[in-house]
Amino acid sequence: MKILQLCKQFPFPLNDGYSIAVTCLSRALKEAGCEVTLLSMNTSKHYFDPANLPENYNHYQAVHTVDIDNRISLRGAFFNLFSTESYILSRFNSVAFGLELKRLLKETPFDVIQLESVYLASHVPIIREYSDALVAMRAHNVEHEIWERFALNSTFFLKKRYLQYLSRKLKKHEIERLKDYDILVAITERDLEIFKNLGYRKAATVTPVGIAAEAYQPDWRRFSKPLSLAFIGSLDWMPNQEGVQWFLEKVWPEVQRRHPQLSFHIAGRGTPDWLKNKASENVYFHGEVESAVEFINAHPLLIVPLFSGSGIRVKILEGMALGSVVLTTSLGMEGINATHGEQILVADTAEAFVQNLAYCFENKTQLEQIGCHARQFIQDHFDTRKIGRELVEKYNKLIGNTKLRS
């Protein structure tokens, strides 16, 4: 099976959930016998020179990129107020990308064109004109829901109204695009149910983000050291900014009062200055770290205070695969059916976060056991090879049915 994978950003380095999700699945598809070609936007925000890829990043048959300037501008945001188009999506409507897509489709017959998020949906008409391939939308999130939640949590009136405006336009376009796909590949059962409620009626499957557990080797020695707390995630993403800010303002003062010896380590690219300025005693900002695995392995406790977002949080999967004790919210748990107190800790209020961290101090000898259970949970439920094989089977069945009907 020949698959063309379209990406809204180059999926390397593996320091954000999107890149990890794209890479893990494309590797699994290759191991399942597929020939996978990448066509990726190489955006100003996440630019990477493919010439610098490591030798072991070799699962693609070919790699093609198109440079895209998708920076947000005040001018663009203002004039979009007078347009029916979603400003969030319009920054990815690239003529150059469309031309490169057209060239590839004319040169090579593909069986499946897999779009990695709705940001690529505007290019479906080109696919339909130059290819008979199955069009698969891999929806990493319900995109408009992220913005709805962020607007709901915003306290500044003008910002709230503008975010509500953006989310309404994004929702309209996300719904309109649903008719364009042959199969919808959702990340969670909940996301798939939302898309069906929005009107999606064609073939669909749930394909969670997979993890190759052997690539995540826990350092169990950290549990014999003084407890330390970590956060890692892209801090140019608003839901992560929101979560870290909330934790520092609402939770950390009480945690520090009760446990003055606890240190909090924050890593992630694009950390804004206003967030860095919230550093205080025992709070350390590390910026973008060279190895997420080494960073997570250095601290027994990993927090993911998420209040906006959708889909599966890859950093939670990575933390669990590394045997960390992960403390997150009910929203962060979406798509991850782990059990509180057994494989993960869950809290939705500042008081609950404080209580869960107190539990960690009071039951320090049990933390490694929670980490062991977390790693086993990932091996049992998020094995990337099994997930890849199941998706290929779904594609093959759908392609076969299409040929029979024709």
Mean pLDDT of 228-257: 93
Strand partners, 137: 115, 184
| Overall average pLDDT of the 391-405 stretch | 82
Mean of the per-residue pLDDT values of the chain: 91
pLDDT tens digit sequence for 314-348: 999 999 999 999 999 999 998 999 999 999 999 99
**pLDDT score, position 406:** 44
The pLDDT, as a whole number, for residue 404 is: 46
Ordered by where they begin, the domains of the chain are: 2-210+383-405 (3.40.50.2000), 214-381 (3.40.50.2000)
Please answer whether residues 112 and 400 qualify as being in contact, where contact means their C-beta atoms are separated by less than 8 angstroms. Answer: no
Which of 153-162, 233-242, 301-310, 361-370 is predicted least confidently? 153-162
SS3 content of the chain, % helix, strand, coil (to 5): 50, 15, 35
Tens-digit pLDDT profile for residues 81-136? 656 677 678 788 899 999 999 999 999 999 999 999 999 999 999 999 999 999 99
Task: Kindly write down the DSSP assignment for every residue of 339-356, as one continuous string.
Answer: -BTTTBEE--SHHHHHHH
Find the DSSP H helices in 363-383.
Answer: 367-381
Does the pTM of the predicted model rise above 0.75?
Answer: yes
Residue of 185, 163, 217 whose CA lies nearest to 312: 185
- Over residues 187-214, the mean pLDDT reads 94
Instruction: Calculate mean pLDDT across residues 34-53.
Output: 94
Question: Do 384 and 29 touch, CB atoms closer than 8 A?
Answer: no
